[in-house]
Amino acid sequence: MVKPVALSPQNRTDALTRLGERELDILVVGGGVVGCGAALDAATRGLSVGLVEARDWASGTSSRSSKLIHGGLRYLEMLDFRLVAEALKERGLLVQRIAPHLVRPVPFLYPLQHRVWERPYVGSGVLLYDTMGITSGNARGLPHHRHLTRRGALREAPALRADSLVGAVQYWDAQVDDARHTMTLARTAAAYGALAANRTRVTRFLRQGERVVGAVVTDLETGRATEVRARQVINATGVWTDDTQAMAGTRGQFHVRASKGVHLLVPRDRINSRTGLILRTEKSVLFVIPWGRHWIVGTTDTDWDLDKFHPATSAKDIEYLLDHVNRVLVTPLTPEDVEGVYAGLRPLLSGEAAETSKLSREHLVAHPVPGLVVVAGGKYTTYRVMAKDAVDEAVRALDEKVPPCTTHTVPLLGADGFQALWNSRHTLARRSGLHVARVEHLLRRYGSLVDEVLDLVAEDPALGEPLPSSDDYLRAEAVYAVTHEGARHLDDVLARRTRISIESWDRGVDAARTVAELMAGRLGWGGDQVDREVDHYLKRVEAERQAQRQPDDHTADAVRLGAPEIVPLV
């Protein structure tokens, strides 16, 4: 088992120094799930690797997904069998081997609305979905689907209107805390030797003739620029792919379009159900996903050409989601039921189709100029395949023979020993003095690294207290986010290391100062910086709330941009 490495402030400082000391084999640009996955892939092949991210790990698309690890049931209807089979294989690997502490099964109910043809049609599709999961070569770790009568379906989901279905099919997929998973990928890559630094932006590529031979990276917190030499650079910047390509003087062999997906969080008691729901819409599907003490309702799928860093949610987006979910609910949801909102941008490969929902979810890898590999498209579930393909392309240009990809056998930090600790959770609760439900929550977030968090509580029992208005999270977790998980700013903790910004009614306002003060001692902040962090966060929350009252994308975007970045990107 690899020894865990803490993404501490000192680790980041050391990484930035070492990035400029010698030529790397691979420099990965972009700290989303694909970039972090590529860094892990390259590091576990024995290559020297750098990983840089302009903001925070998973701060873009990779913290704003539907939080599902799934094959894409609807792609079967499109006859995209290869994509579904690939995704189901990855789902099996994640549930069973790579990240069992972070990825877990979740049931979904598919309501049937037509009596004669729909059950055999849907049933055969779900049977094929299950069968493809079994034959993927991995133990699935998920239950088999089952058919339900209307009465049986209503027992599972009493919230459904009786006239909205004639029966149902229930099947299982998996879910993940996407931001935590992505950060854990970065941390695991660091454990295998990758030099990882967030808040570090590529400002230009280094060239020798036509060849890209590295990049100038700037520490956005100090302004210090470093020339990083690399034999190959992998551009894994998602919806920013075209922007990054422009720095290399090429638009590349393909383009990326952004599609906005909006999600709502509502309290668990607003929808009386023991199962998630998947509902058809005129354009796509709508999910109602169990998420701790909440439901996630999403998503939309609309073209977006405005600010990529902070895609704004409008009143129109919220109305669309509520209108569609309310068509099947006995007790309709209202805007007042919405406790959290988030929007993400899918990086879709540009095509001829006018509707973004018809653009390819598959990925492409290209080598537009010597020394620069670009990977784009795809879906969260298949990040490991995308990373493998990108590294495969990069190593083709290296002189020596490089071992093949091994990430299908590499557990992420926290995975090894997780099941044994889960079985011992009652003992762990007695030893730590925490309630067993609290220990279960910690295990699902940290896996076998949970002792690192509990050690903080043992040293300072006050850290065992929950955060204000955010009972699911301990004060120790805010400290641990800084000392071990690379958090640099208040927003990093409230929006990504925890999900307080979307899970609490006040969106983290009440916890903001407490968290900032907990972070201050570990980051060397004075009172002025604490005030600045809190002020920035409160302005962010207010800007988001105001944007969500606007009638359309353009007005919502303008309002959201009223809250500036805590660390300027230019």
How far from 528 is each of 172, 277, 294, 506, 517, CA to CA, in Å?
A: 49, 47, 35, 24, 11
Q: Where are the beta strands (DSSP E) in 353-489?
A: 363-369, 372-377, 466-467, 470-474
Structure tokens at 185: 């990928």
User: Hey, is 82 helix, strand or coil?
Assistant: helix
Residue ranges of the chain with pLDDT lower than 50?
A: 352-360
DSSP 253: S
Contacts of residue 400, Cβ cutoff 8 Å, sequence gap at least 6: none
Separation of alpha carbons 408 and 411, rounded Å: 8
| CA 477 to chain centroid | 19
Contact indicator for 374, 245 with CB cutoff of 8 Å: yes
Q: Give, for 105, the enclosing helix (H) or strand (E).
A: strand 103-112
User: Hey, is 265 helix, strand or coil?
Assistant: strand
Structure tokens at 253: 């062999």
Q: Would you state the pLDDT for residue 140?
A: 60
Strand partners, 495: none
Q: Would you state the pLDDT for residue 355?
A: 41
Q: Would you state the pLDDT for residue 136?
A: 66
203: amino acid identity, one letter: T
Which residue, 274, 291, 281, 212, is CA-closest to 247?
212
Q: Where are the beta strands (DSSP E) in 200-321?
A: 200-208, 211-219, 225-235, 256-267, 276-280, 285-291, 294-298, 302-304
Q: Output the pTM of the full model.
A: 0.95
Separation of alpha carbons 418 and 411, rounded Å: 11
Q: What percent of the chain has pLDDT over 90?
A: 81
Separation of alpha carbons 540 and 42, rounded Å: 36
Q: Would you state the pLDDT for residue 253?
A: 65
User: Hey, is 27 helix, strand or coil?
Assistant: strand
Phi, psi angles (nearest 5°) of residue 91: -60, -45
Separation of alpha carbons 283 and 320, rounded Å: 12
Q: Give, for 42, the enclosing helix (H) or strand (E).
A: helix 33-43
Separation of alpha carbons 472 and 291, rounded Å: 12
Contacts of residue 473, Cβ cutoff 8 Å, sequence gap at least 6: 466, 467, 498, 500
How far from 194 is each of 15, 181, 185, 373, 376, CA to CA, in Å?
A: 9, 17, 11, 18, 22
Structure tokens at 345: 């941008």
Contact indicator for 44, 558 with CB cutoff of 8 Å: no
Cα-Cα-Cα-Cα dihedral sign, residues 147, 152, 156, 157: positive
Which residue, 541, 477, 169, is CA-closest to 341?
541
Q: Would you state the pLDDT for residue 120?
A: 85
| CA 330 to chain centroid | 32
User: Hey, is 294 helix, strand or coil?
Assistant: strand
Contacts of residue 512, Cβ cutoff 8 Å, sequence gap at least 6: 490, 494, 533, 534, 537, 538
Cα-Cα-Cα-Cα dihedral sign, residues 297, 303, 305, 308: positive
Count CB atoms within 10 A of the CB of residue 328: 20
In this predicted model, what pLDDT tens digit does every residue of 404-460 receive, in sequence order? 999 999 999 999 999 999 999 999 999 999 999 999 999 999 999 999 999 999 999
